[in-house]
Structure 1
Amino acid sequence: MRTSHLSFETQDGVTLAYDDIGSGIPLLCLAGLTRNMDDFEPVVDHFAHRARIIRLDSRGRGASQFTDPATYTIAQESKDALALLDHLKVDRVALLGTSRGGLIAMVLAATAKERLSGVLLNDIGPELDSSGLAHIMTYLGRPCPYSSYSDAADKLPLALGPHFSNVSRSLWLTYARRLWSIGPTHLELRYDPQLRDAVEAAAMDKTPDLWPLFDALCDLPLAVLRGANSNLLSRNCLEQMQVRRPDMIAAQVADRGHVPFLDEPESVSVIERFLAQIEESAA
């Protein structure tokens, strides 16, 4: 993992961390709700030779500034993504969005489609399975229960075993380092615990129909990855997405739940095909 990042300031004065590496098609990577840019290390490893990989830590996550939790919204984070593109003077990007990052991608397709050259959704769609949402609330904003990275690597297979199998201990260690930092007695969250307040506040509103946002992706190259054991993106939702977009590149990642790590053969293959389609569209 990188220990230093680039940064810029948003219009409302929040400092956000990002990374910009590689050359080729600009590929903006947006992480999930509690995650950060380190989730995209496999993408850098496999594709920095053919894509300019831009990774953003959303406000309140990773190395970005913790701020008013009322601004931890998909609408604001969509504006932050556009602000980063403006800061870098990048007109259009392909967007790889994991979970919440994919929801941001769909919002941008509806509000700023001219800035997108294509979208790859990692284990997210226009319907969110209630069991997955309930699971997120069991840990969101709660202290990490593990005393060390080694302790986490020992216990994560039991905690996530039903959804993730065939994961080596070294990969669990990598996973733990991406999610938590070392604290005095326990591992510590790498995001603002008040993110829970923002999610609870949003849950009080009626859940909007997200299918119009998915349909806004029309005419854009589109790909989707689903963890075969995902509890957030159902198999039925994926099938409905394929009916609406029969041209969509799609794959299910064996032995993975929410979310695939992006280093799996299925993931690498989909990213490869997606980038090739973007390159062909740009030619």
Structure 2
Amino acid sequence: MPRFAADDGLGLAYDDAGQGPVLLCLAGLTRNMDDFQPVVDRFADRARILRLDTRGRGGSDHDPDFMNYNLIREGRDALNLLDHLGIARAAILGTSRGGLIAMMLAAGHKDRLAGVCLNDIGPMIEPRGLAYIMDYLGKRPGYADYDDAAEKLSVKMAARFPGVSRDQWRAYATRLWDQAPDGLALRYDPQLRHAVAEASATGAMPDLWPLFDALDGLPVALIRGANSDILSPDTAAEMRRRRPDLIYAEIPDRGHVPFLDEPQAVAAIGAFLERLT
């Protein structure tokens, strides 16, 4: 796995595959580049797909100062990767937090963006979804191994992800956790919990609509899980009202977040890539 140094010296892992317009994939809060393997498998013949492990996640180094786990610093890391590879502009496929990073970059560094595809994220984040995330953030999952995780996830997640097989949940578990002698372990810095808690200590949610509006003039796509507890139908509807040209896909039987291998997601990403060429 190739690595580079961010401008503060922290080592970050990335992957570079395929040919065509550059698509930079940024993962969710606790996730890593492996979430985008279906995108590589399906689109490497149509796009140059960069996948970044954000600091503290996956194969990237943990930051000794957990307060550097913030959207501004993580956005700089994304730009540092583009600079490292000599890329002037890239489209971003951002899952959850990765989509927030993309919108922040649109507000401050729009000249570096060729378009943005948002995976189950928007300018309004539902409180119940945030509460669910805080319930597990920074805690080991409590599964003995990948088979145990597959068995229990198929029950725990059945309401939001009906019909997902145990094999699919096992593959999900291998992307998200490492096997340790005493059970599955986190593939991210547990200090991320303190960073999120500090950032939300005021209890006030910032107005993110100006960040979404900053995408004006860029190709934009939105993928939403029909059972999402982060991106509500009302927020998605308002995003579509503000951007009538928005490429939109709602993925049935998926919560937060779609896996990006669903036919509707594949079609949306394909249509998005068409607008980049």
TM-score under structure 1 normalisation? Answer: 0.96
Give the alignment of 1:220-231 within 5 angstroms.
220-231=218-229
Give the alignment of 1:186-205 within 5 angstroms.
186-205=183-202
Which letter does structure 2 place at the counterpart of 1:178? R
How far, CA to CA, are the matches of 1:235 and 1:158 in structure 2? 25
Q: Are residue 61 (structure 1) and residue 57 (structure 2) matched?
A: yes
How far, CA to CA, are the matches of 1:130 and 1:158 in structure 2? 24
How far, CA to CA, are the matches of 1:61 and 1:217 in structure 2? 27
Aligned residue in 2 for 1:79: 76
Aligned residue in 2 for 1:257: 255
Aligned residue in 2 for 1:243: 241
How far, CA to CA, are the matches of 2:144 and 2:66 in structure 1? 27
- Contact 2:154/2:165 (<8 A) preserved: no
1:208 Cα deviation after fit? 1.1
How far, CA to CA, are the matches of 2:37 and 2:177 in structure 1? 15
Aligned residue in 2 for 1:163: 160
How far, CA to CA, are the matches of 2:207 and 2:250 in structure 1? 24
How far, CA to CA, are the matches of 1:118 and 1:76 in structure 2? 21
3-state SS, counterpart of residue 53 of structure 1: strand
Q: Can you list the C-alpha shifts for 1:28-80, whole angstroms capped at 9, x where unaligned?
A: 00000000000000000000011000000000000000012110000100010
Give the alignment of 1:137-216 within 5 angstroms.
137-205=134-202, 206-216=204-214
Which letter does structure 2 place at the counterpart of 1:211? W
Give ranges in structure 1 of 5+ residues lacking alignment.
none
Aligned residue in 2 for 1:36: 32
1:278 Cα deviation after fit? 1.0
3-state SS, counterpart of residue 54 of structure 1: strand
3-state SS, counterpart of residue 224 of structure 1: strand
Which letter does structure 2 place at the counterpart of 1:258? H
1:185 Cα deviation after fit? 1.5
Which letter does structure 1 place at the counterpart of 2:34? D
1:207 Cα deviation after fit? 2.0
Segment drifting more, 139-148 vs 98-107: 139-148
1:165 Cα deviation after fit? 1.1
Which letter does structure 2 place at the counterpart of 1:35? R
How far, CA to CA, are the matches of 2:165 and 2:4 in structure 1? 37
The equivalent position to 1:46 in structure 2, one of 39, 42, 49, is 42
How far, CA to CA, are the matches of 1:213 and 1:11 in structure 2? 24
How far, CA to CA, are the matches of 2:86 and 2:113 in structure 1? 14
1:189 Cα deviation after fit? 0.3
1:160 Cα deviation after fit? 1.3
Which letter does structure 1 place at the counterpart of 2:26? L
Q: How many residues are paired up?
A: 275
How far, CA to CA, are the matches of 2:167 and 2:20 in structure 1? 31
- Contact 2:94/2:101 (<8 A) preserved: yes
3-state SS, counterpart of residue 126 of structure 1: coil
Q: Can you list the C-alpha shifts for 1:121-158, whole angstroms capped at 9, x where unaligned?
A: 00000000001000001100011210000000000022
How far, CA to CA, are the matches of 1:276 and 1:198 in structure 2? 38
Matched-pair identity in %? 58
Q: Are residue 135 (structure 1) and residue 160 (structure 2) matched?
A: no
1:13 Cα deviation after fit? 1.1
Q: Are residue 116 (structure 1) and residue 118 (structure 2) matched?
A: no
1:267 Cα deviation after fit? 0.5
How far, CA to CA, are the matches of 2:58 and 2:243 in structure 1? 34
3-state SS, counterpart of residue 51 of structure 2: strand
1:94 Cα deviation after fit? 0.8
3-state SS, counterpart of residue 222 of structure 2: strand
Aligned residue in 2 for 1:106: 103
Aligned residue in 2 for 1:18: 14
How far, CA to CA, are the matches of 1:94 and 1:225 in structure 2? 15
How far, CA to CA, are the matches of 1:76 and 1:201 in structure 2? 15
Which letter does structure 2 place at the counterpart of 1:149? Y
3-state SS, counterpart of residue 62 of structure 1: coil
How far, CA to CA, are the matches of 1:144 and 1:259 in structure 2? 18
TM-score under structure 2 normalisation? Answer: 0.98
